[in-house]
Amino acid sequence: MTAISGQGRTQENAKAQLTTKLRQALVAVASLTLLAACSDDPKDSARETERPPLNAASPAPNRSAPNTPTSNTSEPNASGPRPVTSSLKPYVNRPITDDIIYFLLPDRFANGDQSNDRGGLAGGPLDHGFDPTHKGFYHGGDLKGLLSKLDYLENMGVTAIWMAPIFKNKPVQGSDPWISAGYHGYWITDFTQIDPHFGTNEDLKALVKAAHSRNIKVIFDIITNHTADVIRYTECHGNDQGTQAPSVKTCAYRSKENYPYNTRGGPDGMAINKGFTGDDVDGQTLANFRKLTDMNYAYTPYVPSAERDVKKPAWLNDIRYYHNRGESTFKGESSLYGDFAGLDDLFTEHPDVVAGFTRIYKNWISEFKIDGFRIDTVRHVNDSFWQQLSPALIAHAKAEGIEEFYIFGEVYDPSPKNLGHFITAAKLPAVLDFGFQSAASDVLVNNKGTDTLKALFEQDHYYTGSKASALTLPTFLGNHDMGRLAMMINRALPDASPKEKLKRVMLGHALMFFSRGVPVIYSGDEQGFTGDGNDQDAREDMFPSKVAIYNDNILLGTDKNTAEDNFDQAHPLYREIKRLSAIYRAHPALRSGMQTEIASSDNPGLYAFTRANKTSTYLVLLNSKTTPIDIDMAQLPRGNWTRIDGTTQDTPGSLNPKLEGLSFAIYRQS
């Protein structure tokens, strides 16, 4: 027996008093359409009272287990009510807590225009970057392809699309065996136009317009920490040969202590940059930075003549706007000042860089009326940069009529305390919740106790000292960098059955949807993609793939593989996410209500919490064990509870329902 902590109440032996007629009525009530029967809308309160509450006088209705994997042959629209985006507030003033985000890499999603596969470039794959058989090159996905799949996303319940960066990239970088293409979007050379591999600026306008017509938001992935790898150092790469120099090797980081700004090539070198006081906050003024004229303090940087004007806007071609200290070790000072995997690290302490990026991203807001930014590599940029950029962009968006412009940063760290710093100190509105991902993985993959989840959410005070701010954190189960939840399950539990693996992924999505935060679905998860690992191994094509190491993967919930088109609306994970979206949509407290921990343990099993707003309270129960557990309803918080969804079943002779293994249930307090 698993007890739920809380105030007990007296049970009555009413089970035997239920007549066959009442049992039939319960089944009929339980089969009511979810949105009609379970809405938080006051006009539905009369219908709600018709459902027998879960108290000492009546048991929970007996519903079939919706988490049971279903056949792949079902009709696409057989999975319950379609989430209708028109029922939401308009996208321009809809709070992010009402949204369901879908993250995708345009290159890997859908190919709507094969004429742009090579980005308008001649030559072979090492010139234009297109090789659909290579996991590290362009595969042909584009904005027109995404536009053609808006029905697919809307039907699933998606209300916000977050795209990996789509700005023009350096087509190919690196050297064997690490040479690859900029399909992912993080090697930007031109911040003013769309990468030709993805289409044109006009294609983007058409996509945004079409998404907005469906009340779906569009969120850009942006970068300020670095550009593509263009700058070279004489000490490592030799002199300019007049050609595009490959990044044969990286250059060791040279610190500010050993290579100060005021001497050339080390502390014993020739005096330079007279009067420059450094780049600490007090020195981040134009007057001070005008004294930084000689950039040869650590290395002797230069731009190869073949790429001298490759970056746009033009100010990005000036080496004064880069740190030029060599490769980051991702520790200490180098984490802020070093080149990220060889990429040119911007001098974000410089007022001109702050102003330049503010102009760049204001222009994108004005021209395309987008709805938010996800910011890459936030922890590798100084706090003072974010303190200026974020408020400026939000204010500009409001001036453009976008009241709920959403900004969230990527800080690859599972610690709520460390993540909270970038909200409380750096003043970003939100950060990706790597803490949630880590805790969810520990419970669902590593079979740790559900106390892990309780401990996570009890640290929500680190986000501005109030649990309310944690409501806006984007939560996720895996991504294009670390890999998918299904891959983690495959590695940790190789002997688990396909059914168990599928149920674990389903339970993970239920946890993500109904605990606090904004759920983020990673493209392909809804089609049972697994992947072999992280990074390139987790970036499979949704359209028919030609990559051998993708096509040999065993997907969850289907007999298909990635060599086929994978936009199957009958896939059990797609259907489950669609169903979760409908529940999420129907009950505002499950989106924005405050979360209170109710029950957990140091072993796999029950995790229980409530979500409450001013008008409604919900109890969410999850079972991380593979076997059923009995729920002691006598130990629930006071009140009558009516189940609105889940896999609890009546136990003959008892008022305590049984929660199936790897499943969830949701109750509403009457």
As annotated, the active-site residues are: 376, 410
For residue 31, the SS3 value is: coil
For residue 343, the SS3 value is: strand
- Residues 361 and 393 sit within 8 Å (Cβ to Cβ): yes
Residues 6 or more apart whose Cβ sits within 8 Å of residue 16: none
- Residues 279 and 337 sit within 8 Å (Cβ to Cβ): no
Alpha-carbon distances, residue 72 vs 69, 79, 492, 508, 662 (angstroms): 9, 12, 26, 21, 21
d(CA 507, CA 576): 10
Look up residue 565 and give its two tokens. 């088109």
Residue 602 CB neighbour total at 10 angstroms: 10
d(CA 607, CA 519): 19
Look up residue 611 and give its two tokens. 């979500």
In DSSP terms, which residues pair with 169 in a beta bridge? 188
Is the torsion defined by CA of 385, 388, 391, 394 positive or negative? negative
For residue 529, the SS3 value is: coil
Nearest to 332, CA basis, from 417, 256, 421, 435? 256
d(CA 148, CA 153): 10
Q: Say which amino acid occupies 75.
A: E
d(CA 163, CA 364): 14
- Tokens 């109904």 — which residue? 514
- Residues 217 and 210 sit within 8 Å (Cβ to Cβ): no
- Tokens 């593979």 — which residue? 626
d(CA 277, CA 324): 18
d(CA 312, CA 205): 20
d(CA 348, CA 340): 14
C-alpha gyration radius of the chain: 27
Helix or strand run (H / E) with residue 475? strand 474-475
Helix or strand run (H / E) with residue 106? helix 106-109
Which segments of 282-333 does DSSP mark as H helices, in order? 286-289
Q: Is the peptide bond before 165 cis (omega within 30 degrees of 0)?
A: no
Is the torsion defined by CA of 256, 258, 264, 265 positive or negative? negative
